[in-house]
Amino acid sequence: MQPDDIKSNILTTTLESAVNWGRKHSLWPMPFGTACCGIEFMAVLAARTDIARFGAEAIRFSPRQSDLLIVAGRISIKMMPVLIRIYEQMPEPKWVIAMGACASTGGVFDTYSVIQGVDKFIPVDVYVPGCPPRPEGVVEGLIKLQKLVETEKFSDYSTTRGK
């Protein structure tokens, strides 16, 4: 190998940014579709917007295989324990997108049975507004999340959960 070849074939970086780069382009979403937003989320996956272009096409219906929870739809008081459980089953690192008005704030459903925003109980990284959001909106949210994944620091991971 010539010295010139070596120059053009070696890239120096930090492990952190290399890992974050990998993570951000291979988010595996776990869709938690409970209402109309869940239907709209199918359009996000379909050919026109196709989030495979962002490396997020591997939809997993097992929380243990995914690192991005997409809450699409209203969450009732009966569903919230399930959602919390699924969130806790996801391995670190993990992120959450609240898709639509209902998941973010409860939307128009200001009643005893609807959680007024899942961020009251689980951490949400990106909120996508709309009722339902257009697929482009979800893609925008995904790009925003990718930027967030980029900034994650290894030194911030605490060894004790929820510290």
Sole window of 8-16, 51-59, 66-74, 154-162 interacting with other proteins (rule: CB under 8 A): 154-162
Give the contacts of 44 (CB within 8 A, at least 6 positions apart).
51, 135, 138, 139
Q: Which does 92 bind (CB under 5 to 8 A by kind): other proteins, ligand SF4, none?
A: other proteins
Contact 162, 84 (CB under 8 A): no
Q: Which SS3 state, helix, strand or coil, does residue 130 take?
A: coil
For other proteins, give the closer residue by CB, 23 or 94. Answer: 94
Which residues in the 63-122 window bind other proteins by CB under 8 A?
Answer: 77-78, 80-81, 84, 87-88, 92-94, 110-116, 120-122
Interaction site with ligand SF4 (CB under 6 A): 35-37, 73-74, 100-102, 107, 131-132
Q: Is 5 in the site for other proteins (CB under 8 A)?
A: no
Give the contacts of 102 (CB within 8 A, at least 6 positions apart).
35, 37, 73, 74, 75, 109, 114, 131
Q: Is 14 in the site for other proteins (CB under 8 A)?
A: no
Q: In what order do the strands lie in the sheet with 95-99?
A: 29-33, 68-72, 95-99, 126-128
Q: Which H helix or E strand runs over 68?
A: strand 68-72
Q: Which does 45 bind (CB under 5 to 8 A by kind): ligand SF4, other proteins, none?
A: none
Kindly report the backbone phi and psi dihedral angles of residue 96, in degrees, each rounded to the nearest multiple of 5, phi listed first: -135, 130
Nearest approach, Cβ of residue 33 and other proteins (Å): 19
Q: Is 19 in the site for other proteins (CB under 8 A)?
A: no
Please name which of 55, 3, 63 lies closest in space to residue 30, comparing C-alpha atoms.
63
State the residues that interact with other proteins by CB under 8 A.
Answer: 77-78, 80-81, 84, 87-88, 92-94, 110-116, 120-123, 151-153, 155-158, 160-163
